[in-house]
Amino acid sequence: MGGAAGLAGMAAAAGTRPALSQDKGTIRIGAPLPLTGIFSGDGEEFRRGLVMAVEEINAAGGLVGYQIETVVDDAQDSFVEQMQASFERLLRKEKVDAVLAGYLIGSPVELDMVAEAGVPYLSQQAQIKVSDMVASDLKKYRMVFQTCPPGTYYGYGLVDFLKSVPEDWLAQGKTVAVIGGDNGYSEQIHIATRPALKEAGWQETHFEVVPYGIPDWTPTLTKIRDNPPSVIAMNDGIVGDDSLFIKQFSDLPTKSLIYQVFTPSTPEFFDVVGDLGDGVVWSTVIGILPDQIGNDFRARYRERWDGDEPSFGAAGPMYDQVHMWAQAVRMAGDPKDKDAVCEALKGVIYRGVAGGYHVKPDNLTVPSYPTELKDPSLALPHTFYQIEGREHRCIWPDPYTVSALRKPAWMA
């Protein structure tokens, strides 16, 4: 079922074919998801994407003679202890046949647990630590598949994107203020961003690491206003912090292009900033694409979930993970043969709602297009969006661009 035609065919089959009789029992997918706590919005979307994919496969006759059963476990805020407890339940008590997860901030504490159990594990951690651990011992971690590029590509890709910004927009030349967060996810991003910008000729006017849940951006904004940069690159990845920054920045804006990592894609962003977000640029290394396949998925999501609109990076990528794993099961022929499924996953080429999936052999991680790999059929696009009228318009890279970058009103 790889490729666009295969995905469309699966969706059509789910709506037209009755479920076939099964005589082999069930395959159990374990899903540790942050259903309560600070990431519960994304956690619920992960769950919905999982449910949609499983419903489609089961309605189309199941998977190599089996019906799929989901075992969802609440990983809460996904801190280390919560993750350990969740994986303990799924792997040892529930004895699931595979584990599929979104992002979990306590990762990679779970990798050794998965390695001991030997079950296929697909996740969207986007962490260089995961890629590096897998690369360090491919035999031990042969079952660990990271289905999106590491967060470091937020930094590397930003440098490529900035080449598309008109030079006459850069009021202070190639200058940038970099803001990071004091969490492991953000750290990997700004550690990659800063040297990449320097190598490309950008001068840093300000760098700061801010705490999670920053109550007031005034001290930071005072420093930025005293020495305004042409670009403000925010890498903390916390929606509440980033939206508060926009509100306080708007009181006395500088002529700076604002870039944020992922957070404006969440519905909560507009709840705080309203129309003040117009002109903000953001990006994601994995998300539903603005093409026919992505738009068709959005329509099915709205139909399944009472008109709700999916965000970019949760439901769609989780939906893709299920189908990617299912393709490997078909190739292996037996979902209970976990080693065979893991070996098949190395060869899967799958076109999902978020783009092309194919893991690199050296770290079992899907690469980033176009910065890491120039072939979009084998990599996930690092897409950049700009907000206009509370809508997200893709501005980079081709062939996914739907509109040109426009100068924000505060830079006019």
Asked if 160 and 107 sit in the same domain, the reply is no
What CATH number does residue 9 fall under?
A: 3.40.50.2300
Query: What per-residue confidence (pLDDT) applies to 22?
Result: 52
CA angle 83, 313, 190 (to 5 degrees): 75
Asked if 170 and 256 sit in the same domain, the reply is yes
Asked if 270 and 395 sit in the same domain, the reply is yes
Residue-level pLDDT, tens digit, the chain, 412 residues = 334 434 443 433 333 334 444 579 999 999 999 999 988 989 999 999 999 999 999 999 999 999 999 999 999 999 999 999 999 999 999 999 999 999 998 999 999 999 999 999 999 999 999 999 999 999 999 999 999 999 999 999 999 999 999 999 999 999 999 999 988 788 999 999 999 999 999 999 999 999 988 999 999 999 999 999 999 999 988 889 999 999 999 999 999 999 999 999 888 899 999 999 999 999 999 999 999 999 999 999 999 999 999 999 899 999 999 999 999 999 999 999 999 999 999 999 999 999 999 999 999 999 999 999 999 999 999 999 999 999 999 999 999 999 999 999 999 9
Asked if 277 and 370 sit in the same domain, the reply is no
Q: Going by C-beta distance under 8 Å and a sequence separation of 6 or more, which residues neighbour residue 118? A: 143, 338, 339
What's the one-letter identity of residue 203? Q
Asked if 331 and 405 sit in the same domain, the reply is no
Query: What per-residue confidence (pLDDT) applies to 308?
Result: 95
Q: Going by C-beta distance under 8 Å and a sequence separation of 6 or more, which residues neighbour residue 3? A: 350, 351
**β-pair type (380-381, 368-369):** parallel
Per the structure, how many domains does the chain have? 2
- Asked if 115 contacts 140 with a C-beta cutoff of 8 angstroms, the reply is yes
CA pair distance 73, 67, nearest whole angstrom: 20
Asked if 122 and 247 sit in the same domain, the reply is no
What's the one-letter identity of residue 356? G
Structure tokens at 67: 């019906």
Structure tokens at 163: 């080449």
- DSSP assignment of 357-375 equals E---TTT-B--EETTT-S-
Domain range for 142 is 3-150+288-381
Query: What per-residue confidence (pLDDT) applies to 393?
Result: 96
Instruction: Provide the edge-to-edge strand list for the sheet that holds 121-123.
Output: 67-74, 26-33, 98-100, 121-123, 144-146
Query: What per-residue confidence (pLDDT) applies to 3?
Result: 41
CA pair distance 408, 412, nearest whole angstrom: 7
Q: Going by C-beta distance under 8 Å and a sequence separation of 6 or more, which residues neighbour residue 58? A: 19, 67, 68
Residue with tokens 């996953």: 345
Backbone angles phi, psi at 176, to 5 degrees: -150, 140
Asked if 277 and 209 sit in the same domain, the reply is yes
Asked if 270 and 402 sit in the same domain, the reply is yes
- H-helix or E-strand spanning residue 268: helix 267-273
Asked if 20 and 136 sit in the same domain, the reply is yes
- The Cβ-side half-sphere exposure at 126, using a 13 Å CA radius, reads 30
Query: What per-residue confidence (pLDDT) applies to 8?
Result: 40
Helix, coil or strand: residue 179: strand
Instruction: Indicate the pTM of the whole model.
Output: 0.90
Asked if 351 and 391 sit in the same domain, the reply is no
Asked if 266 and 403 sit in the same domain, the reply is yes
Structure tokens at 367: 């690469």
Backbone angles phi, psi at 327, to 5 degrees: -65, -40
Asked if 173 and 38 sit in the same domain, the reply is no
